[in-house]
Amino acid sequence: MQYDIIIIGAGPGGIFSAYELSRLAPQLKIAVFEGGAPLEKRRCPIDGEKVKNCIKCQTCSIMKGFGGAGAFSDGKYNITNEFGGTLYEHIGRSKALELMNYVDQINCQYGGESTKLYSTSNSKFKTLCLQNKLRLLDASVRHLGTDINYIVLKNLYTYLKGHIEFYFYTEIQSVIKIDGGYRVESRDAVYTCQKCIISVGRSGSKWMEKICRDMEIPTHSNRVDIGVRVELPAAVFSHVTDELYESKIVYRTEKFEDMVRTFCMNPHGIVVNENTNGIVTVNGHSYEDPKLHTDNTNFALLVAKHFSEPFKDSNGYGESIARLSNMLGGGVMVQRFGDLIRGRRSTMARIDESWVRPTLAATPGDLSLVLPKRILDGIIEMIYALDKIAPGTANDDTLLYGVEVKFYNMEVELDKNLETRQNGLFIIGDGSGVTHSLSHASASGVYVARYIAGKESI
């Protein structure tokens, strides 16, 4: 089957490249190949009753399918160059912001118009952070919420399926350069195209490494973020979340001068499992609909670990730590902050007596047996620093789930147009290592689509 363009992966990167191509180059024959299910068929079996923990499905519905890893996410589209990726290094800061704003406009047009755009500009909270050795990063954030995010994706799919051919449950196994383009192979079929856009996200990271090796595309890798997910009563952070919804706060530890940061804040949200290549880690999200709100807020505290020569496998390091927690806890582990600092494991009885009701059924345990001392020390220091701007953060009953790991895909060597050294092969989104967020991944898709359609170049 011959296409002009094949897009591999139907996450935000793939969706937005398909969307923009359908608009700017409707004459092109385009196909999207997705290893997971269509949106309405995606179901995580964890129901909190019969199935409480991750059963390691062959295809993880949280990570794969139409909408990608973002489908059941909190739908927080951060419009900023301060975090979420380094797209600006390729396409420039103002272009990156322009495209993130464009993505926001499309999201609003397809169902997100009633949602709120929060901003840190003019926030009094910035000063309070600085007075307490913390730094609030600048951003605007559109919170679609898990429910509206789903509606936006559903509407986008309704539009796209009239213009683009979608192949679901079709994991691409290889991409091979041929005369005039690429041969793209699934288990039981072969397709060809002139140009290929790969947008396989974090779940496709191992496959991406193989493709880069096979096609001699250079990659670099040396970072992983490791930490915990904090869950506490929503009231403790409400003065921050009511105004900003999501705040990215950075702290430099006194002991080691390591950077610890908050990540993915979910007011009134829930803590969830995440399964990446069979390893269960923790994440969180929340709904826009107040009826689905919980009494808790959750956010991650992460310490960035950069490795220098000769060690290259930073993701392998993060995986080993996550595996250790899976080994001890059978999945995600939870511990009260009070138990952690007293050097004892949490038990079901202590969790039951606690004033914070966990929103994820995790195994009570001892995170100090899992996390390296330096990382744990950084997290504890940060909790006390946050306690100064949000008193109650360091309460004994604050829950810490572990481990949370942010795996960074190795960074693929790309030019300013996100094209590899193989002519006509583009790598976008989180799979490229350039982006780590919904807005950056989507913007990278728009950028490449415009470039291919001849509407964008710098």
Ligand X SMILES: Cc1cc2nc3c(=O)[nH]c(=O)nc-3n(C[C@H](O)[C@H](O)[C@H](O)COP(=O)(O)OP(=O)(O)OC[C@H]3O[C@@H](n4cnc5c(N)ncnc54)[C@H](O)[C@@H]3O)c2cc1C
**By the criterion CB under 6 A, which residues form the site for ligand X?**
8-14, 33-36, 62-65, 68-70, 73-76, 78, 84, 171-172, 199-204, 207, 264, 272, 274, 283, 285, 429-431, 436-439, 441
Calpha distance 199→441 (Å, rounded): 9
- Residue 343's nearest CA partner among 376, 362, 366, 373 is 366
Q: Using CA of residue 74, residue 79, residue 82, residue 87, what is the dihedral sign?
A: positive
| Shortest separation between residue 391's beta carbon and ligand X, angstroms | 26
Taking the complex as a whole, how short is the minimal distance between the CB of residue 12 and ligand X, in angstroms?
Answer: 4
Q: Which is nearer to ligand X, 272 or 412 (CB)?
A: 272
Query: What's the token pair of residue 101?
Result: 């704003």
Position 13, amino acid: G
Q: Is the Cβ–Cβ distance between 227 and 303 less than 8 Å? A: yes
Cα 348 to Cα 336: distance, rounded to the nearest angstrom: 11
Give the separation between CA 436 and CA 433, rounded to whole angstroms.
Answer: 7
CB of 60 to ligand X, least distance (A): 9
- Alpha-carbon Rg for the chain, nearest whole angstrom, is 21
Of 14 and 378, CB closest to ligand X: 14
Contact 298/263 with Cβ under 8 angstroms?
no
Nearer to ligand X (CB atom), residue 25 or residue 37: 37
Between 63 and 356, name the residue whose CB sits nearer to ligand X: 63
3-state secondary structure of 199: coil
Report the Cα 425 to chain-centroid distance in Å.
24
Dihedral Cα 82, 86, 91, 94, nearest 10 deg:
0
Phi, psi of 40 (to 5 degrees): -70, -15
Q: Are 244 and 143 contacting, i.e. CB atoms less than 8 angstroms apart?
A: no
Given a contact cutoff of 8 angstroms between Cβ atoms, the answer to whether 78 and 436 are in contact is no
Complex with ligand X: residue 274 or 366, whichever CB lies closer: 274
User: Is 45 or 391 the residue whose CB approaches ligand X more closely?
Assistant: 45
Nearest distance, CB of residue 145 and ligand X, angstroms: 9
Q: How far is the CB of 87 from ligand X (least distance, A)?
A: 11
Of 79 and 321, nearer to ligand X (C-beta) is 79
φ, ψ of residue 154 to 5 degrees: the values are: -60, -45
Token pair recorded at residue 140: 């605007």
3-class state of residue 30 by DSSP: strand
Smallest gap from Cβ 162 to ligand X, in A, equals 21
CB 146 → ligand X: shortest distance, Å? 9
Taking the alpha carbons of 3, 9, 13, 15 in that order, is the dihedral positive or negative?
A: positive
Q: By the 8 A CB rule, do 159 and 166 touch?
A: no
Choice between 209 and 243, CB closer to ligand X = 209
Name the token pair of 204: 């496709």
The distance of closest approach from Cβ of residue 381 to ligand X in the complex, given in angstroms and rounded to an integer, is: 26
In whole angstroms, how close is the CB of 209 to ligand X at the nearest point? 12
Please state whether the peptide bond connecting residue 412 to the residue before it is cis, i.e. omega within 30 degrees of 0. no
Is the separation of the CB atoms in 316 and 242 below 8 Å?
no
Residue 357 · residue 341 · CB < 8 Å: no
Q: Closest CB to ligand X among 385 and 452?
A: 452
State which residue, 301 or 394, has the beta carbon closest to ligand X.
Answer: 301
Place of tokens 């926001």: 104
Q: How far is the CB of 116 from ligand X (least distance, A)?
A: 14
If the CB atoms of residues 93 and 210 are measured against ligand X, the closer one turns out to be 210
**Shortest Cβ 353–ligand X spacing (Å):** 29
